[in-house]
Amino acid sequence: MEKAMFGAGCFWGVEEAFRTMEGVKDTKVGYSGGATENPTYEQVCTDRTGHAEVIYIEFDPAVVSYEQLLDKFFTIHDPTQLNRQGPDVGKQYRTAVFFYSPEQEKSAKEKIEQLGKSGKFRAPIATEVTPAAKFYPAEEYHQRYLQKRGVNVCH
């Protein structure tokens, strides 16, 4: 098993998109990239902890590649929006790839360069690529939030 972590706005819909991919063995929503230890949802929502809402993924690379995860990541959110996604505004909603290896870093940077040259987006890609920091799982009521409610999209 390998792991991946992405920030792409509100983590509920992001988790659902990855959870259902073949080869993804486990997903958890939570917080990473900030300074506060063991942050709560309420603290992260203040936009003062520095954390992003993230999805932590364990995946089988024999079934799904990291590059396929990156492809999914860049299709489920707008990577050109800085510190926001749709109606959600704040650094906690930033677009980010948190890499666990030099290979993941290289793949993420190459994908961003490729997408930037493709003309697919009208604005520059704002996705940050940064080493994976400690992952703090979100409160239980956030885990598989959409699945628990019988829906598969937020808005």
Active site residues: 10
Q: How far is residue 24's CA from residue 3's CA, in Å, rounded to a whole number?
A: 10
Q: What SS3 state is found at 36?
A: coil
Residues 6+ positions from 138 with CB-CB distance below 8 Å = 11, 28, 29, 30, 31, 41, 53
Tell me the C-alpha distance between 97 and 50, whole Å: 15
